[in-house]
Structure 1
Amino acid sequence: MTPRIPTLIFATALAVSVTCAATAETCPPAPDHTEGLDLLIAEVKQADTELEARRIANKMWEFWADAPNEQAQEILKRGMTKRAAWDLLGALEDFDALVGYCPNYAEGYNQRAFVNFLREDFATALVDLDRALELSPNHIAAMSGRALSLLALDRIDEARTTLDDALQLNPWLPERHLAAPGGVLNIPGQEL
């Protein structure tokens, strides 16, 4: 007697979930770059030019993109390459795999959120951005992405607050124009 199809599907799903759970346990903790990021945040606040601020922000990206191990680094790199080539579904698959493998690595969620933002799935992006910020509270890029996602969802007050939080850490963010006089996230009553 052959097994029924629903039984096979259930058995396959169970095997996949057990494998994913076992794999997630093998991902080491993400490197702790808190001290280095704090120093860069202090430095970017003192930057005199946008070019200098951009150089500092690039150093922040080096920390955020430092995956827990070589396997995670390769998945991250592959997903970012696909995203850059606008293979958004392929990138999404890679970032799903990265989040499944390293569920405590903030950048996996941030990158998946970016892909969903590009796909204009702002609500899904927001869920991942919230998780990224839960794992890495000073992840300025995730804050900025969260503000943009909230703006796209027409949640203006929340977007304004989130962008303000990000600008407190990096006043040179490219999105700062949104909060400037005349910008869509400028505080009412502070227009030109």
Structure 2
Amino acid sequence: MILAVLAAPAVAECPAPPDVANELEGLFEEARAAPNDQAGRLVSNQMWQMWLRAPDAAAQEVLERGMRKRDVYDFAGALSDFDRLADYCPLYAEGFNQRAYIHFLREEYGLALVDLDKALSLQPRHVAAQSGRALTLMRLGRIDEARSQLEQALKNNPWLSERFLMAEGGPLAPAGEDI
């Protein structure tokens, strides 16, 4: 029955995603104040749980099914589910972020960038989409843009695993002074 709803979005509409701005700001503050990597990871996991709350049960089912398919490398099946989710819930940033991840895994970086830009237009402080965008830009050879994007993400969550890309010798490390 739930699948019928997603098969016919003209009949049913996805509700607007909840406003998570206050919850997100609180999590950013916790992440910035975290004393170590373990505490920072716990806060990062809370952010993920927030983003993975779909607007309704039908969308949640498709999101979770797509993620299960992705986890077993059924990228075509996952992409189909995330296409359905993006069509049904065009205001839900995580649908676009998940679809972008499939494109990234398939090395379709241009398509990933389109979906990441859409996700960030809907949820500008989605640090997972920001870090995914940084990785995508890096793969496209757009290093300065990638570095700038990752810096934005790290301002809100300094514990992202991608932070190591900016360490000395890393592919996004700030340029050193020339001799």
Under a length normalisation based on structure 1, what TM-score does the superposition of the two structures give? 0.86
The aligned residue for residue 111 of structure 2 is 124
Pick from 100, 103, 116 the counterpart of residue 113 of structure 1.
Answer: 100
- Structure 1: gaps of 5 or more residues: 1-18
Deviating above 6 A after TM superposition, structure 1's stretches of 4 or more consecutive aligned residues are: none
Matches within 5 A, 1:113-192: 113-189=100-176
Secondary structure at the aligned position of 2:124 is classed as: coil
Aligned length: 171
Matches of 1:126 and 1:45, distance apart in 2: 27
CA RMSD of superposed structures (Å) = 1.3
State the distance in 1 between where 2:177 and 2:106 align. Answer: 33
In structure 2, distance between residues paired with 1:131 and 1:157 = 21
Change (3 A) 1:94 1:167: same
Change (3 A) 1:77 1:118: same
Which of 19, 34, 55 aligns to 1:32? It is: 19
- CA offset digits 1:136-158 (Å, max 9, x no partner): 01100000000000000000110
| Structure 2, unaligned runs of 5 or more | 1-7
Q: Against the structure 1 CA distance between its residues 48 and 125, is the aligned structure 2 distance closer, same or farther, given a 3 Å change threshold?
A: same
Deviation readout 1:94-131 (Å, 9 max, x if unpaired): 00000000001000000000011100111100100011
Q: Conserved in 2, the CA contact under 8 Å of 1:181 and 1:190?
A: no
8 Å CA contact 1:106, 1:132 repeated in 2:
yes
User: Which residue of structure 1 aligns with residue 91 of structure 2?
Assistant: 104
Shift of 1:81: 0.4
Q: Are 1:42 and 2:22 matched, yes or no? A: no
User: For the structure 1 residues 111 and 188, does the alpha-carbon distance in structure 2 shift closer, same or farther, using more than 3 Å as the test?
Assistant: same
Q: TM-score, normalised by structure 2?
A: 0.92
Contact kept in structure 2, 1:151 and 1:159, CA below 8 Å: yes
Question: Identity over the aligned pairs, expressed in percent?
Answer: 52
